[in-house]
Amino acid sequence: MIILVTGANGFLGRHIANTLKRAGHQVRELNRANGGDFERLRTPQAWLPHLDGVEAVVNCVGIIAETSSQRFSVVHGEAPIALFRACVAGGVRRVVQISALGTDDGAASRFHLSKREADDVLRSLSLEWFVLRPSLVVGGKSTGWLRRLANLPVWVLPGTGNQVLQPVHLRDVTDSVLQCLEDHLPPRQTIDLVGPEALSLKEFLLLLRRADQRNAPWIWLIPVNWLMAIAHLAAPFAPLFSPDNLAMLHRSVIADGAPFARLLGRNPYSIEASCREERHELSAT
């Protein structure tokens, strides 16, 4: 199958493209360096040349913070919507949209709302679509900044530090995309990609820390409203710690993992196994 993968130089896009190639698919990788600037791809007509001969599309583009040249409304909303409409016009039947856990009726952050806008449009179109909503992805050096935080002697955590996470292994995410491109799988599904266990932010950091065989840290808990005030001041200098991202963490979204297991045809990897494997990959590099 000839598959267009957008955002193919990003973390998830790169791994998804490699998984599809290993499975024997012909992958066309689209990114900002080779004509995939979403700011310039905001109409179906702009997308049609990229869809010539394409049989399926996997949209992996996503940003965690806005910049002067990349906005949620365009990167997550306008451009993907134009892509999906171009798929209808160009005869591309199957589309896999990589969304995010939390893009549901409770979405409040600009990140989640912009993702949900594109998800909703895709679900309204006459396509064989899949909307995949991954949780925090572990594996392939994806949680490097969390591991660095975990290894600090003192932790500064929001609120109680008991915000709930349900991390998912990178390999489970890439395998799920591969499954969505198989003819036997019924399309028009929205599936949350979550690991088999839910645990608190504090527990997850301790798990990462134990993998590095370090002693327990000192933990400093700061009220969320204090951190929100700090985030508003720090956002221009540290976009990752924006109020939006802090609010997403504090929301503690979890999901039923049974549909994901059915999609994979097996149980997802455990969080502990995911952390061990990531640690092995880091030590081997």
H/E stretch holding 21 reads: helix 11-22
> Each residue of 255-279: pLDDT tens digit?
999 999 999 999 999 887 666 666 5
Rounded CA-CA distance 127/271 in Å is 34
Amino acid symbol at 171: R
Residue 112, pLDDT score: 93
Asked if residues 193 and 176 have their Cβ atoms less than 8 Å apart, the reply is yes
Q: Per DSSP, what are the bridge partners of residue 128?
A: 94
What DSSP letter does each residue of 131-192 carry, written as one string?
A: EEEE-SEESTTTTHHHHHHHTSSEEEEETTS--EE--EEHHHHHHHHHHHTSTTS--SEEEE
* Confidence at residue 239, expressed as pLDDT on a 0 to 100 scale: 61
Q: Which pair of tokens denotes residue 61? A: 């583009």
Please state which of the ranges 19-28, 69-78, 134-143, 254-263 shows the lowest mean pLDDT.
134-143
Mean pLDDT, residues 231-257:
73
pLDDT at 241: 67
Please give the model's pTM, rounded to 2 decimal places.
0.90
* Percent of the chain topping pLDDT 70: 87
Residue 212: the pLDDT is 61
Name which of 68-72, 119-123, 205-209, 238-242 the model is least confident about: 238-242
**In which band, very low, low, confident or very high, does the pLDDT at 283 lie, cut at 50, 70 and 90?**
low
State the pLDDT at residue 238. Answer: 61
pLDDT of res. 227: 77
Confidence of residue 142 (pLDDT cuts 50, 70, 90): low
Higher pLDDT, 68 or 175: 175
pLDDT-above-90 percentage for the chain: 58
Q: Distance (Å, rounded) from C-alpha 174 to C-alpha 48?
A: 26
Least confident of 30-34, 36-40, 65-69: 65-69
Check residues 202 and 130 and name the one with the higher pLDDT.
Answer: 130
Question: What homologous superfamily does CATH list for 2-284?
Answer: NAD(P)-binding Rossmann-like Domain (3.40.50.720)
Dihedral angle, C-alpha 12, 89, 27, 99, nearest 10 °: 10
Q: How high is the pLDDT of residue 79?
A: 97
What is the per-residue pLDDT for 231? 73
For range 201-214, the mean pLDDT: 79
Give 176-206 pLDDT, tens digit per residue. Answer: 999 999 988 999 999 999 999 999 988 888 8
* CA–CA separation, 276 and 284 (whole Å): 12
Non-local (6+) Cβ contacts of 35 within 8 A are: 50
At 90 the pLDDT is: 97
Q: Judge whether residue 235 has pLDDT over 80.
A: no
**Average pLDDT of the residues of the chain:** 88
User: Between 157 and 248, whose confidence is greater?
Assistant: 157
pLDDT above 90: residue 234: no
Give the range with max mean pLDDT: 21-25, 106-110, 214-218.
21-25
Sorted by where each begins, the domain ranges of the chain are 2-284
Say how many C-beta atoms besides its own lie within 10 A of residue 165's C-beta: 26
Q: Is the pLDDT of residue 284 over 70?
A: no
Whether the CB-CB separation of 6 and 58 falls below 8 Å is answered with yes
